[in-house]
Amino acid sequence: MNSSIMDEIGIDPIIYILLLFILVIVLIVLFIVQMNRYKKLDERFRAFMTGADGASLEEKMAILFKDVRKLKEHDLIHKKDIADMRHILLSCFQKVGIVKYDAFREMGGQLSFSIAMLDQEDNGFVMNSVHSASSSYVYTKEIENGRSAIELSDEEKEALKIAINSSPSVTEIPSGEDD
């Protein structure tokens, strides 16, 4: 191939053809890689958009948004409901203290434990599980206002102290009075 442009550049046209061929091969490889990525992404998208009953996630989300709009429009959350939720949350166990120990020195692994579970007003219980080689025993003691009417073991006292000093999981609950 004699070409005045190729002669002026001074490079053999075969080199250009080889470079273009290599470029086409690289582009074909990149295209195949991208098609595989797209196929995987499409499979994940279809699995994500298909629910257990065959309904799409998009339809479910639209229904949920519609329900939330209805609740806002009709003000279905009343002050009484908020007060009930507040009472329920305050009476739930929110403080926990756990102490693991070895009840019998001949056994290892600290298989015995004491756990204290309290509500925000330090009412609840302490449970003590004593594990021995032949049996296990579980004892519970009621806690009112951070105190027990029954004498507590050292481990139970420590678990109770940890629970009383822990932060409650619900620290501020709106009373609903300002609404």
Q: Which residues pair with 174 in a beta bridge?
A: none
Tell me the chain's radius of gyration from C-alpha atoms: 35
Residue 9 maps to a domain? yes
Q: 19, 44, 76: which is the final residue of a domain?
A: 76
CA 149 to chain centre: 38
Q: Encode pLDDT of 107-161 as tens digits.
A: 667 788 899 999 888 899 999 988 877 788 888 999 999 898 999 999 999 999 9
Q: Encode pLDDT of 55-88 as tens digits.
A: 566 677 788 888 887 777 766 556 666 667 777 7
CB 92 within 8 A of CB 173: no
Number of domains, the chain = 2
To the nearest whole number, what is the mean pLDDT of the chain? 80
**What is the spatial distance between Cα 86 and Cα 175, in angstroms, rounded to a whole number?**
7
Q: Which helix (H) or strand (E) holds 127?
A: strand 124-131
Q: What is the pTM of this model?
A: 0.48
Q: Encode pLDDT of 162-179 as tens digits.
A: 999 987 765 555 554 444
Read off φ and ψ for residue 138, nearest 5 degrees: -125, 130
Structure tokens at 20: 């273009």
Q: Are residues 1 and 71 in the same domain?
A: yes
Q: Are residues 100 and 71 in the same domain?
A: no
Q: Are residues 134 and 155 in the same domain?
A: yes
Q: Are residues 1 and 64 in the same domain?
A: yes
Residue 55 maps to a domain? yes
User: For residue 157, what are the domain limits?
Assistant: 88-165
Q: 170 CB contacts (<8 Å, ≥6 apart)?
A: 89, 90, 92, 94, 120
**Cα–Cα separations (whole angstroms), residue 154 to 37, 51, 95, 129:** 61, 53, 19, 13
Q: Which residues pair with 98 in a beta bridge?
A: 115
CB 83 within 8 A of CB 108: no
Structure tokens at 176: 């609903």
